[in-house]
Chains A and B, each alone.
Chain A
């Protein structure tokens, strides 16, 4: 036998150069336009909330994995994405200690308790937001524009008090809202990058936004205005498309998107709160195993 021993391992012997890390890196790049707009309008408040959220998310993941003797996975950048998305779903004036509580809840309770990346059954950032909203509802619903307390466009619609900002303000981001959700244009630029990099596919965002548009119009309201209000754009492109908590099949994604759309439109129209994107996605997350099971593709050559 020869002296040299070469690596024996199963085929295939070549792999694509896409890794979990490159995917997460691309999502982070795609979130940059919304981040810049958030900082432009909310200044130092936004910077501090985003930094706190990202740092505490990454730290929480590292700490948990250290304490439980697991492989440290912070290098895959998924905790950075969760931290960014959590911050994007928080109002700029939230006390920073609450951000830390939310980040720890997202990473440890929602993600790590269920086995870490790929195993959580609801979106960590959204669950973190829902947890904070339930715990600190006043701080979580305080909105400002230029440092002056204001209402979000959806709240104005719900209560009928105040004047609605023009749609151009919704596109640019000159409105009250969470740090990352205010500018539809910034989010769409990021989404275009995700499509270009083939990180996300059309099914969920298109059916989600389309369903909200149609139902809102059917409810006799201005659908074309409302799809740009609140968290719909951020939710449809960046939250509902989260791999782990959305269906894996194309058909399943369509069902999921329509489900999110129906829930969002119904909550906005009939619910006590002005906005329902987070809860819609969280509820639809729970349907994912069932949807996956019912939408398995037809196997090549399968005889039925």
Chain B
């Protein structure tokens, strides 16, 4: 069978064997949860409860503020103990509510189970917005906004991103296996919003069981096709996934909807289903806790506000001292200096790596081997952009296409001189915008 893919890219060891056969376990929330008001791309939510208030599980505690923002809900019942400024695991300073868990898990009253077929499009989108659904692949862009393209835009393709190309991460894989029907129903809801679109579920060929399960579950669904992708990094990149399936290239500086596509992550689509059918908000997510430093790597469903430390302890703690703690996978994840960060909607995984499985070597001079060019999925010349960025030549940087970089890390991964090419290009992009 022909596998779909894109040009270039890399094949890092995926190390998914650590957790791929482990069922998702619900982790019981701890006594205290620190819930950031910013768990998404856009403006932070505004707290709608005060210190001392009693809140219920599923109650809205932060209200979306502005056009691109998202609601935040409490994962437990309890009392708002205090508020404080914290840094999120994606490096933004934000207000957080500290909620003391009373252990009763009293829930807010959810609406009766709804049939999405009898709901209007506006109602569906409102339900998604209300539930605080954001892109759970890590980018945390508010989902309702993606589903409201500007007038005149035509959407003919909706892709569910089940590539999960980051090494170590297996949360999406487990969801595809364990929540197969919910995923298909979620996609059908999206197809109800865009009745002229065709639905695709895209899975890499290192997740054969998920592919088969989905293929089987979708066999009677006319508008849905399950696609098999070549296992290659960064196959889950929005632009490259669109290319693999439709052979369309998102033009420089444009969005997927400019090529009539919407891409949503597996976890997001399941959240859409739960939000629309049951009115359930997003208060937890699947987090793969893995890496060679973790005693018993697991796939956990973690309530937001739980600290990294507690999630790691749930997996037996460390068996070896890690040097790096990552929020996300090792290719694009962020390394954190301590374990106090709360899990929020962006945390696809917690990966703890020992010295031998990460790379801390010093940079040496570029030898012009061209490996970065052979790896770059955007077809850029990374070593050249690296150079221009270090010389602060931002006009030339832009002219050579630096702004197209998707920061996937392929160039740094393959570089034999161990240069921090991705970081240097990120810096070039930031300074070019000034």
Contact = CB atoms under 8 A, between A and B. Distances in A.
- Are A and B co-members of a single complex? yes
Nearest to A116: B365
Contacts of B333: 11, 13
Nearest to A244: B368
Contact of B330 (A11, A20, A78, A246): A11
Contacts of B357: 14
Contacts of B415: 15
Contacts of B377: 300
B167 A14 contact: yes
A7 interface: yes
B191 interface: no
Interface string B132-155: 000000000000000000000000
Interface string A268-304: 0000000000000000000000000000111111110
Interface stretch (B36-44, B96-104, B337-345): B337-345
Contacts of B381: 248-249, 296-297
A16 B423 CA distance: 17
Nearest to B409: A12
A299 B379 contact: yes
Interface string B234-264: 0000010001000001111010000000000
B311 interface: no
B335 A11 contact: yes
Q: Could you say which of A5, A13, A76, A249 has the most chain B C-beta atoms within 10 Å of its C-beta?
A: A13
Q: 8 closest A-B pairs (Cβ-Cβ)?
A: A12-B409, A10-B423, A15-B359, A2-B338, A248-B370, A118-B365, A13-B330, A299-B401
Interface of A: 1-2, 4-16, 18-20, 22-23, 73, 76, 78, 115-119, 243-244, 246, 248-249, 296-303
Given A297-B373, A301-B404, 7 more contacts: A4-B339, A5-B337, A9-B324, A11-B407, A22-B416, A301-B239, A301-B254
Contacts of A117: 364-365, 367
Contact of A4 (B338, B361, B383, B414): B338
B311 to A, nearest CB: 14
Nearest to B248: A301
A12 to B, nearest CB: 3
Contacts of A78: 367
Nearest to B253: A301
Nearest to A296: B381
Contact of B383 (A119, A248, A303): A248
Contacts of A8: 335-337
Interface string B8-28: 001010000000000000000
Interface residues of B, number: 64
Nearest to A297: B379
Contacts of B324: 6-7, 9, 13
Contacts of A4: 338-339
A2 B309 CA distance: 10
Contacts, number: 161
A243 B365 CA distance: 13
Contacts of A12: 330-332, 409, 412-413, 422
A14 B360 contact: no
Nearest to B383: A248
Contact of A18 (B239, B251, B322, B416): B416
A76 B418 CA distance: 13
Determine which residue in B353, B370, B407 has the highest number of CB atoms from chain A within 10 A of its CB, and name it.
B370
A300 B364 contact: no
B414 A18 contact: yes
Main secondary structure, interface of B, reads loop
Contacts of A299: 252, 378-380, 401, 404
B177 interface: no
Given A6-B323, A297-B379, A301-B239, A243 B369 contact: yes
A12 B353 CA distance: 13
Nearest to B331: A12
A299 B384 CA distance: 14
Contact of B335 (A6, A23, A246): A6
Given A7-B323, A244-B368, A2 B339 contact: yes
Contacts of B239: 300-301
B151 to A, nearest CB: 23
A179 to B, nearest CB: 25
Given A248-B373, A299-B401, A14 B336 contact: no
Interface string B313-349: 0000000001111100011111111111000000000
A248 B414 CA distance: 15
A193 to B, nearest CB: 17
A8 B371 CA distance: 26
B338 A301 contact: no
A73 B322 CA distance: 30
Contact of B332 (A5, A11, A23, A115): A11
Interface in B405-433: 407, 409, 412-418, 420, 422-423, 426
Contact of A10 (B243, B338, B426): B426
15 contacts: A6-B336, A10-B420, A12-B332, A13-B326, A13-B335, A15-B413, A16-B413, A18-B371, A19-B361, A23-B367, A117-B365, A248-B368, A248-B369, A299-B252, A300-B249
A11 B334 contact: yes
B46 interface: no
A8 B336 CA distance: 6
Contact of B322 (A6, A23, A297, A303): A6
Given A1-B340, A248-B381, A299-B401, A19 B359 contact: no
A244 B367 contact: yes
A149 B73 CA distance: 90
B2 to A, nearest CB: 21
Nearest to A295: B381
Contacts of B243: 300
